[in-house]
A and B are shown apart, each in its own frame.
Chain A
Amino acid sequence: MSTTEPEMAPENERGRSSDAPEIDEAMMAEQGIDMEVAEAVAPDREIAVEVGDKLVEVQNLTIKFGGLVALDNVSFDIKRGEILGLIGPNGAGKTTCFNAMTGVYKPTSGKILLEGTSIGGQKQHKITRMGLARTFQNIRLFGEMTALENVVVGLDARHRTSVGGALLRLPRHIREEKSAIERGMALLEFVGVADHAATLSRHLSYGHQRRLEIARALATDPKVLCLDEPAAGFNPAEKEDLMALIRTIRGDGYTVLLIEHDMKLVMGVTDRIVVLEFGKKIADGIPSAIREDPRVVAAYLGEPEDDVA
């Protein structure tokens, strides 16, 4: 697959954000960042904001289900080019937040902006096309489709063939179908499922299904890739692989929002972490600071008895 191993430290990325107004591909190549997926999926992608600017803004987001307040006035940003971790104990509202961002739930109040445009009230498929793609906590692939077909469904989000065009096999349809095969295979190769391109996705192993979900979400050419507990059910070795994969995805110029339980993975891969507890944001900062934050420690481990808080 790749000739260069995209092992790049987060510092690289940060440093670049200040002095490089646009992604300079040559410079990134020098730094060992390869644009493989970005190029295979979207050779002509354009992102309005610069690296380090706010790509997604969640403003005072509140979601109520009847009397239950699932999210209470939560605000945070996702900056372009970062891996943001969203963590919290079970029931803290992480997935609710995710669902609100991808249009599954309507916010009771508050706003979600993607590159300054509100995505509130948009249809879900429109939000995907605006550049917000997600995977699911419980895998939701199209079981009767092959791995490659699953990815191509994601690629279709950017295709413009009409029903008539497909019916009569017009040139655009043929062009898009051919490029979809190439790009789909490149994506499968990227996540390491290429050998199983022709396998029905329900026959894939659990780990491959998780990876295929990521490939399918990447195929929609997102600006922000939202991963909902991608490491659930993984053993430590698989988690290591996944961390490398997430770093590579970021190295390709994607922004990643990661919901995860596994602290080691979150601490190891994220640039910044937002902590939720009972629907409220209790902390927001770099991993080392979050680790030391007494409120986070309390949320995860409980209050020490002798600690008068």
Chain B
Amino acid sequence: MSMVDGPTPLPGAKASQAAEDREAAKSGPGTSADAPRGGMFKSFGARWNALPRQQQWAWLTIVVVLAYLLPVINPPLISTEPGNNFALACFDMARFALIAVGLNVVIGYAGLLDLGYVAFFAVGSYTAAMLTSPDSTFLKIPYLWTVPVAMAVAMFFGVVLGVPTLRLRGDYLAIVTLGFGEIVRLLATLIPAMNGQVGFQNVGHPPGLEADGTPIFSNANGTPWYWLVLTVLIIVLLLAGNLERSRVGRAWIAIREDEDAAEIMGVPTFKYKVWAFAIGAGVGGLSGALFAGQVGFVNNQKFDVVTSILFVAAVVLGGAGNKVGAVLGGALVSYIPLRFTAIAEYKYLIFGVALVLIMIFRSQGLLPARQRLLAYGRLAYNRVAASGKGGTPPSGGAPGTATSTEAGA
């Protein structure tokens, strides 16, 4: 009875898929030549998407290995020394990247401008500190256990903030989140149990001792901390990718594009906005806990609004909606003041100017790659491109449009 003769079922299409991959690889150079030239980054994105999957994985592996080796190699021009310890700088970059990836879920995907993201970072830091520092009166648990607890507490705060405020839109939401960021900081100042400016010393760290008896994860030893955060970052990136290419990611982008239309198309917009907030908050709490562990000291001075704006700047700079862009933006925002210590004083001025320039010349951010929202979209798109090249007459330049857009994707 079924007369669907267009698309072939996926399970049986594995063999032809390989052929299509090869075809796509062959057509790669042509595709990128067709693609509109939009600067270095754009053509890079086009070429990247034209690569077959195996090559992408190979390149990714190389990049990841290099990233892990970064503090060991300590490349001369890139290094932040002598001003700052390079391993610790790497840790800070990875931490910012992690924060940016989390905030990117809220701002980039769901399009909710959250100016109080530092609050979740603070909640994570305080959770880790209060559960491990000898200065706190709470029960003590091993540091590694505080990491999931910090995430859970931050997510809880995300829901608590999200449920009443996510009925607001746009500017109103931004103002409320800004207020929330301040509230958390003020609570840390005012509640006696949170020790205000005195803070918490000797926050815990992961177990393990070096041969000479000093802890591996000591405050001054950046490399193991960097590796830890980098590993967490990679896991978070993979999970965020999973979400992006699912109904969750599609719901977020649909909300960002047109919230009313999304609702009418059956997307429970409120639920998914709360989820975006909660997931973003969870990642914020996670990075907060890691930060508290590395620094070993938490007080109320580190969670001001300016830091929050810096997080937003990282996302916007890298390219809102693009998790790789967020990593780049986060790393840059952290790296520049550490590397160029002479201008560190003026970092807000510089980031301000950079943001204005970005808004004028490249409003999509440094890496304006579009989200891919289908787990198996590549198969379908390749098929469309292939059928367009084959016998069927192209109606109105169909194949050209299809391939070039996919390349831009």
Contact = CB atoms under 8 A, between A and B. Distances in A.
Interface string B236-250: 000100110111111
A186 B264 contact: no
Contact of A178 (B249, B263, B376, B387): B376
A1 B266 CA distance: 28
A217 B379 CA distance: 24
A266 B380 CA distance: 36
A146 interface: yes
A124 B264 contact: yes
Interface in A173-221: 173-174, 176-178, 180-182, 184-186, 189, 194-200, 203, 205, 216-217, 220
Interface stretch (A83-91, A154-162, A290-298): A154-162
Contacts of B250: 145, 149, 152-153, 156
Contacts of A40: 2, 4
A140 B25 CA distance: 35
Interface stretch (A7-15, A29-37, A58-66, A232-240): A29-37
A268 interface: no
Contacts of A148: 374, 377, 380-381
A141 B322 CA distance: 21
Given A196-B401, A203-B405, 19 more contacts: A34-B3, A123-B268, A141-B261, A142-B254, A144-B253, A152-B247, A153-B254, A156-B247, A163-B275, A169-B375, A173-B375, A178-B10, A186-B6, A189-B6, A195-B388, A196-B402, A198-B409, A199-B405, A217-B265
28 contacts: A39-B4, A40-B4, A102-B264, A125-B264, A125-B265, A125-B268, A140-B261, A144-B256, A144-B370, A145-B253, A153-B250, A166-B246, A166-B249, A167-B243, A169-B242, A177-B245, A177-B246, A177-B374, A178-B375, A181-B377, A181-B379, A182-B9, A185-B6, A185-B383, A196-B401, A196-B402, A199-B405, A203-B401
Contacts of A194: 6, 384
A129 interface: yes
A194 B385 CA distance: 10
Contact of B380 (A163, A185, A200): A185
Interface in A93-144: 102-104, 123-125, 128-129, 133-134, 136, 140-144
A168 interface: yes
Contacts of A158: 266
A197 B402 contact: yes
A25 interface: yes
Contact of B1 (A29, A102, A129, A136): A29
Chain B residues touching A, majority SS: helix
B265 A1 contact: no
A157 B267 contact: yes
B163 to A, nearest CB: 15
B376 to A, nearest CB: 5
Interface of A: 1-4, 25-26, 29, 34-36, 39-40, 102-104, 123-125, 128-129, 133-134, 136, 140-146, 148-149, 152-154, 156-159, 161, 163, 166-169, 173-174, 176-178, 180-182, 184-186, 189, 194-200, 203, 205, 216-217, 220
Counting chain A CB atoms within 10 Å of each CB, which of B7, B245, B256, B381 scores highest? B7
B5 A1 contact: yes
Nearest to B381: A198
A206 to B, nearest CB: 13
B380 A153 contact: no
A2 B375 CA distance: 28
B373 interface: yes
Contacts of A161: 246-247
Contacts of A39: 1-2, 4
B54 interface: no
B262 A153 contact: yes
A191 B246 CA distance: 24
